[in-house]
Amino acid sequence: MTHYDINSIRADFPILKTKVNGHPLIYLDNGATTQKPSVVIDAISAYYTQINSNVHRGVHHLSQVATDAYEVTRNKIRAFINAAHEHEVILTNGTTHGINLVSTCFGKEFIHAGDEIIITAMEHHSNIVPWQMLCEEREVVLKIVPINDCGELDLDTYRSLLNERVKMVAITYVSNTLGTLNPIKEIIALAHQYDAAVLVDAAQAIQHIPIDVRALDVDFLAFSGHKMYGPTGVGVLYGKEKWLDRMPPYQGGGDMIKEVTFEKTTYNVLPFKFEAGTPNIEAGICLGAAVDYITTVGLTNIAQYETELLKYATTQLADIDELRFIGTAAEKCSVISFLLNGAHPYDVGVILDKLGVAVRTGHHCTQPLMDRFGIPGTVRASLAMYNTKEDIDALTVAVKRAAQMLL
Amino acid sequence: MAKYEYIIQLGKELSPMNEAYRRDDLLIKGCQSRVWLHADYDGDRVVFTADSDAIITKGLVSLMIKVLSGQTAADIVEADLYFIDAIGLKEHLSPTRANGLVAMVKQMKLYAMALAAR
């Protein structure tokens, strides 16, 4: 690995100097949202001081500049995920928006009564509820791929669930609760044998591992800007042109039309067909700065560094007798979920907060998964490129303190 | 930290709740942990019992019970709970906190109001 200058990376994230309850902030809630580097923060300020204007509309100078900057981001994202065309990159307001767009528009065109949709037992509510809504609306059957006690998908059951009636397989790349890294490429290839499309929820993957949509041959990929060091309120839906072209628009409004009369409206070309209304221009443009930042550090470097750190964290926490890991898959990414036997995750979270350690507690929007494990929730530490072994040591000390106080 | 050690202690000391009252209809909504609250009437006084599956939440409930249980319905309805702020637990009073202390106090006052209206 090339030299990974953790000190200089940390210096790029001003918020990491914060103190919480008298302790230095140990930020381990990156699965919920990541912190932003100065280049992103500065880009937001620069947007409003220099180029604020609406996009895709005006002939005036600023509008041209803003539109260019917005479209530059689209191209950066295209390159980042190696999409074939810029118009396959739809800018959304987040992962949830992207999944709902696909469930609605792909659903309208390609999924009919009697068809089947496959999801898994480890999905976030965002990748469950939109499909359930579709199933209720048009008598479509939802099938669930189960997991084993380690939190790994049961691929044999997955194979047995596939048939010609399956029109969509919607699956997370990395589980936000368990950290399981799913064998997406194999899952996609199997679905394609039955001509089923595959949507991958990459919200917890895009900031951790290099993704090449063409190598994966994925049909749809959704992710959020704020979890990849970018601004809140922008996200990406990648879709293959062959699907996007045939799908009806999502929302009606400005920017998505070609011509409107009261008799008949014709729709704009891709990607604008799916981008009705004024987008979050500032966030869209500044997401480009986040992509640049990640690319400069290098996703391969980040992945290698975080894998080491995850290993270290797992070893350190395993030393605590009362601690039980939830999610022990062989292939994991970024996330460590655990419980202290006999302590409610909420209690652990409160004590950790008092010691300056930010983690997430609760069901992590994966209630069916919590039911699967028979637990009310977990304590979740999730890593980002700026976390250190010292952060993990502080977490370990804090968890030991919580165990001492609560048990 | 001493404050939280005390709250945890209060939680551990809270008199156990009658198992029969650990019912879904006695759950207080809006908590990340589960909180059950039951009110009994003893003349013009309201007697609260409660439980939670999280010990810090239970400690906070215990604190409220120490202050409000056994008081008259009118006093509970009127109670100004400034002390929560005074002892440095204000953050738990924000309606967006997941522990539901606000919901808990509201429910206690509703029980008292129901009695006062009889």
Q: How far apart are CA A364 and CA A31, in angstroms?
A: 10
| Residue range A41-55, pLDDT digits in tens | 999 999 999 999 999
A402 touches chain B (CB under 8 A): no
Q: Is A81 exposed, middle or buried (0-12, 13-18, 19+ CB in 10 A)?
A: buried
Instruction: Map tokens 């655990």 to a residue.
Output: A338
Q: How far apart are CA A74 and CA B18, in angstroms?
A: 60
| Residue range A349-367, pLDDT digits in tens | 999 999 999 999 999 999 9
Comparing alpha-carbon positions, the chain B residue that sits nearest to A349 is: B56
A198 bridge partner residues: A169
Q: What is the per-residue pLDDT for B104?
A: 84
**Helix or strand holding residue A29 (H, E):** none
| Total count of residues recorded for chain B | 118
Q: What is the mean pLDDT of residues A314-336?
A: 98
Q: Which residues 359-378 of A are in CB contact (within 8 Å) with B? A: 361-362, 376-377
The answer to whether the beta carbons of residues A47 and A53 sit under 8 Å apart is no
Sign of CA dihedral A370, A375, A377, A382: negative
Catalytic residue, chosen from B7, B17, B28, B31, is B31
Longest dimension (CA), chain B: 44
Instruction: Map tokens 């996330």 to a residue.
Output: A335
User: CA distances (Å), A380 to each of A31, A166, A324, B32, in order?
Assistant: 9, 34, 12, 15
A406 touches chain B (CB under 8 A): yes
The answer to whether the beta carbons of residues B38 and B27 sit under 8 Å apart is no
Q: What is the mean pLDDT of residues A247-268?
A: 90
Q: How far apart are CA A282 and CA A141, in angstroms?
A: 40
pLDDT band, residue B92 (cuts 50/70/90): low
Q: What is the per-residue pLDDT for B28?
A: 84
The answer to whether the beta carbons of residues A45 and A399 sit under 8 Å apart is no
Q: Do the chains contact at B32 and A361, CB–CB below 8 Å?
A: yes
Q: What is the mean pLDDT of chain A?
A: 96
Q: What is the per-residue pLDDT for B103?
A: 81
The model's pTM: 0.94
**Helix or strand holding residue A361 (H, E):** strand A360-362
Q: Which amino acid is at B115?
A: L
Q: Do the chains contact at A405 and B98, CB–CB below 8 Å?
A: no
Beta-carbon neighbour count of residue A227 at 10 Å?
A: 26
Q: Which residues of A touch B88 (CB under 8 A)?
A: none
Q: How far apart are CA A342 and CA A400, in angstroms?
A: 14
Question: Worst-scoring range by mean pLDDT, A85-89, A138-142, B83-87?
Answer: B83-87
Residue A280 has pLDDT above 60, yes or no: yes
A336 bridge partner residues: A381
Q: How far apart are CA A146 and CA A144, in angstroms?
A: 6
Percent of chain A residues past pLDDT 70, beyond the cut: 100
Residues of A that are catalytic: 365
Question: Worst-scoring range by mean pLDDT, A159-173, A255-269, A323-337, A373-387?
Answer: A255-269
In 3D space, the residue among A358, A340, A318, A325 whose CA is nearest the CA of residue A405 turns out to be A340
Q: What is the per-residue pLDDT for B30?
A: 62
- Identify whether A37 is preceded by a cis peptide bond (ω within 30 of 0): no
Q: What is the mean pLDDT of residues A75-86?
A: 98
Query: Which residues are within 8 A (CB) of B25 and not within 5 positions of it... i.e. 6 or more apart?
Result: none
Joined together, the tokens standing for residue B107 give 């429910």
Residue B16 has pLDDT above 90, yes or no: no
DSSP label of A341: T
ipTM confidence score: 0.87
A340 touches chain B (CB under 8 A): no
Joined together, the tokens standing for residue A389 give 């072994």
Residues of B with CB under 8 A from a CB of A: 1, 4-5, 8, 32-34, 53-57, 98-99
Q: How far apart are CA A386 and CA A87, in angstroms?
A: 33
The answer to whether the beta carbons of residues A237 and A247 sit under 8 Å apart is no
Q: Do the chains contact at B98 and A343, CB–CB below 8 Å?
A: no
Q: What is the mean pLDDT of chain B?
A: 85
Question: Of the candidates A346, A376, A406, which has its C-beta nearest B8's C-beta?
Answer: A406
Q: How far apart are CA A61 and CA B112, in angstroms?
A: 66
Comparing alpha-carbon positions, the chain A residue that sits nearest to B2 is: A405
Percent of chain A residues past pLDDT 90, beyond the cut: 93
Beta-carbon neighbour count of residue A246 at 10 Å?
A: 11
